[in-house]
Chains A and B, each alone.
Chain A
Amino acid sequence: MSVISHTLNMETYSEIAQVEEFDSQQERELILRCQERDTAAMGTLVVQYQHWVYNIAFGILGHHEDAEDAAQDAFLSVWQNIDNFQFRSRFSTWLYRIVKNKCLNVIDQRKRRKTDPMEIDDSQPWVPLDTVTPEKEALRTEQSEMLHAALDRLKESYRTILILRELRELSYEEIAEVLNCTLGRVKSRLHEARKALRTELERIDW
């Protein structure tokens, strides 16, 4: 792992620690304030969750700008629908479900962009979505690129469940809530996803 990515990861871990320290009572108060249309409270919620929201979106989409857009849209959706949150589930699972849906929207838009002839700009050479600029290239290790390439080849449902479990370390119950499926489905899908990723990584001889 390069020095840059190591440094970044250290920053990331400090942010994770910050998120974990977030008290559930504080969170409840912030949500209640958001329901009273307090934008300052919303800003605090964004700061607390932006790390995981962005990383889940990036894990699913594999593209920084798309992930940032999806994360912003997810937070905007939270603000617009915060009145519907009744504290029956954890706020984080509710939020991650919104993030997942936003990512699915982005994937649908990509598919439409690729199939709609009106949307194809022939004046520019086609650039794959996963291509990164030289500046961003420096931030990526070879290993993470290979892993992203392998993840990109998986079905979207496999990629999502792997990100939620391996990256965010959600429990099976939380994953079932985010994906709106049964525990049995989570178990079987996660197993299939892990097997598929293993096969993909073997295929690229990693």
Chain B
Amino acid sequence: MKHQRIQKHLSAYFDNELTSVLRKKVDEHLRVCQECTEMLEDFKVNRGRIAELVHPAPSLKDAVLAKIRETENAPHENFLSTLRRWVFRPITVGTTAFSTVCLVVALYFFTNTPTPQYDELLDFYFEVHTQEVANNPLKSNVATPLNTPATDTEDFGEGTDTLLDLFFED
């Protein structure tokens, strides 16, 4: 393994985080490489230096508990500030604007679409159908009196189709 590739593993070697195979290779390399040996030694020294940076911590308990009490005792203000923060977020503003536009468009189309007068149309359709049945007994199962006068069924049929088409178009 080349010098550069071995050097990349030096830190993990130092922390004992290498597999036994890789560790053995680094061990072998360290026997012949002065640069890597020095680097490893510096890692060790710097660890000791950083470990000495520990400072006695100030007592945080009273300050933290005071802050907790402060936030707990002001729930209304806290709620308002949280709400304000959420409301004025770009994503909230964007989503609200988009939803409003969608709602307005939907309302516009809903209120301007003419609703068909189904009752009137159905009455008309049933009236026409009743006449058709009366005039064309063969098209229905309803018994028709024999003295019913014959009519021009073809003309009436075409007319009915047209009216039905109009009904379905509506």
For residue B56, CB closer than 8 A to chain A, the reply is: yes
Pairs of residues from A and B, 5 with the lowest C-beta to C-beta distance, nearest first: A191-B11, A54-B57, A166-B50, A75-B64, A50-B60
Q: Is the CB of A194 within 8 A of B43?
A: yes
What sequence of 0s and 1s flags, for each residue 1-13 of chain B, a beta carbon within 8 Å of any chain A beta carbon? 0000000101110
What sequence of 0s and 1s flags, for each residue 42-62 of chain B, a beta carbon within 8 Å of any chain A beta carbon? 110011011111111111110
For residue A79, CB closer than 8 A to chain B, the reply is: yes
For residue A138, CB closer than 8 A to chain B, the reply is: no
Give the distance in Å from the alpha carbon of A39 to the alpha carbon of B17 in the complex. Answer: 40
Give the distance in Å from the alpha carbon of A139 to the alpha carbon of B15 in the complex. Answer: 31
Instruction: Mark out the residues of chain A between 67 and 97 whose CB falls within 8 Å of any chain B CB in the assembled complex.
Output: 68, 71-72, 75-76, 79-80
For residue A162, CB closer than 8 A to chain B, the reply is: yes
- With A68-B60, A76-B68 known as contacts, the answer to whether A165 contacts B55 (CB < 8 A) is no
For residue A109, CB closer than 8 A to chain B, the reply is: no
Chain B interface: which size bin? 20 to 34
Could you say which residues of chain A place their CB within 8 Å of the CB of B25?
Answer: none
Q: What are 25 A-B pairs with beta-carbon distances under 8 A? A: A9-B54, A46-B64, A46-B65, A47-B59, A50-B58, A50-B61, A51-B57, A53-B57, A53-B60, A68-B58, A71-B60, A72-B60, A72-B67, A76-B68, A144-B52, A163-B50, A165-B15, A166-B46, A166-B47, A167-B54, A172-B17, A187-B12, A190-B15, A191-B11, A198-B46
Could you say which residues of chain B place their CB within 8 Å of the CB of A42?
Answer: 64-65, 68
- With A76-B68, A190-B11 known as contacts, the answer to whether A147 contacts B58 (CB < 8 A) is no
For residue A58, CB closer than 8 A to chain B, the reply is: yes
Could you say which residues of chain B place their CB within 8 Å of the CB of A194?
Answer: 11, 43, 46
Could you say which residues of chain B place their CB within 8 Å of the CB of A190?
Answer: 11-12, 15
Could you say which residues of chain B place their CB within 8 Å of the CB of A72?
Answer: 60, 63-64, 67
For residue B122, CB closer than 8 A to chain A, the reply is: no
What is the predominant secondary structure among interface residues of chain A facing chain B? helix
For residue B153, CB closer than 8 A to chain A, the reply is: no
Q: Is the CB of A46 within 8 A of B60?
A: yes
Could you say which residues of chain A place their CB within 8 Å of the CB of B55?
Answer: 8, 12, 54-55, 58, 64, 139
What is the predominant secondary structure among interface residues of chain B facing chain A? helix
Chain A interface: which size bin? 35 or more
Q: Is the CB of B60 within 8 A of A55?
A: no
Q: Is the CB of A47 within 8 A of B61?
A: yes
Could you say which residues of chain B place their CB within 8 Å of the CB of A165?
Answer: 15
Could you say which residues of chain B place their CB within 8 Å of the CB of A53?
Answer: 57, 60
For residue A123, CB closer than 8 A to chain B, the reply is: no
Give the distance in Å from the alpha carbon of A165 to the alpha carbon of B43 in the complex. Answer: 12
Could you say which residues of chain B place their CB within 8 Å of the CB of A201?
Answer: 42, 46
What is the distance, in angstroms, from B86's C-beta to the closest C-beta of chain A? Answer: 15
What sequence of 0s and 1s flags, for each residue 111-126 of chain B, a beta carbon within 8 Å of any chain A beta carbon? 0000000000000000
Apart from A42-B65, A147-B49, A194-B43, list 11 A-B contacts with CB within 8 A: A46-B61, A50-B57, A55-B57, A76-B64, A76-B71, A166-B51, A167-B51, A167-B53, A190-B11, A198-B42, A198-B43
